[in-house]
Amino acid sequence: MVAESRRLADMIPSRFLHLFVWPVLLTPLLLIGASGQTVSLPETEAIRLDTNLVVFDAQVIDGRTGEFVNGLRASDFILLDDGTRQEISHFSQDRLNLSMILLLDLSGSVSPVLQEIRAGALGALSRLKQTDEVSLMVFSSKTELIQDFTRDRRQIVDRIGQIEKTGVIGQGTSLFQAVNDAALQMGRRAGSANRRVIIVITDNVAWDYNSSGLGEQEVTRQILSSGSMVSGLVVEGALTRTERIFRRDRDGRDIYRRRMTIDPFIDLTGGEMLRANPAGVANQLARLVDHLRSRYSFGYTPKREGDTGGYHQIRLELTEQTARRLGAVTVRTRRGYRIGTP
């Protein structure tokens, strides 16, 4: 067992409150002034905000080429919160610091490629900014925190190399519990004003027998409360291909078991899923991290009256003029956020 590892049940309170709306201190941002002009602030100048700010990010994808659309401005977007148009007060691309959790599936299908993941991790993480932070978690039948948030990339790589010494490899796949635990870790430990992403490296083959574990709605609430985006790297091995053949068009449900995947959480939060064979894990992990840098960050203070608790829906779209100029594009972002207890 790695000395730094500890059970999530031992480190996370049984009831945890986190808001996706923070009073924050932001540094390298673009400030949208009253005139509507975007002003770039020096890296060293901080913006102190005395109000509650909703922060999220989005990708704009060219539907013809699949490439990401860069160089857009805040004025190219229309933002709605529960149907009410909002003023985008803060806008940037790859400027906010990032808090990332690498969540590794240690089931029998994924554990054989740990060395490939380790070999690719340093190159992938080197694409991050020096001020970004990374945490490492693993799971099979239980979840373990291997490394808390750190800016030391080599430390994460070294911890991956020590995973085989843990006692959780190949003992089932509690996928929903693991994603829930990662969201708890994110809410408890991540930088308050950082962009937040959970990257799940898994074969995406998991079953819950007799529906004994957490449900999708419970995990969804925790993810929304943590303000996290979920992305996935699906490692396709023999078990993945066999499961796909036998499942065919079934929804993965029967009276004895429930199929669990990361798909609904990726779709909900506007994340991305890439697939890789064992030999391509390193390259695809690097691509996934690179794509995080193509995302636009948005901040706004919601205009609403009355009770602000509960779930709120976000809708982000391009202005009519920008949509005509760009043609067929897709805006990928989270569907909403939650204020209050999960």
In the predicted model, is pLDDT for residue 112 greater than 90? Answer: no
- What ranges do the domains of the chain cover? 6-16+99-292, 21-94+294-339
Q: Residue 53: which of 89, 80, 29 has the closest Cα?
A: 89
Name the DSSP class of 111: G
Q: What is the pLDDT of residues 233-243, one digit of tens each?
A: 998 864 544 45
Give the Cβ contact number of residue 60 at 10 Å: 24
User: Whole-model pTM?
Assistant: 0.78
Mean pLDDT taken over the chain: 78
Give the strand pairing for 329-333 and 38-40. unpaired
What is the pLDDT at residue 3?
41
> C-alpha angle 340/341/342, rounded to 5°?
120
CA distance 156 to 312: 35
Q: How confident is the model at residue 111 (pLDDT cuts 50, 70, 90)?
A: confident
What is the pLDDT at residue 34?
33
- Name the CATH architecture for the domain at 6-16+99-292: 3-Layer(aba) Sandwich (3.40)
In the predicted model, is pLDDT for residue 279 greater than 70? Answer: yes
Question: Which helix or strand (DSSP H or E) is residue 222 part of?
Answer: helix 216-226
SS (H, E, C) 10-66: HHCCCCCCCCCEECCEECCCEEECCCCCEEECCCCCCEECCCCEEEEEEEEEECCCC
CA distance 118 to 182: 20
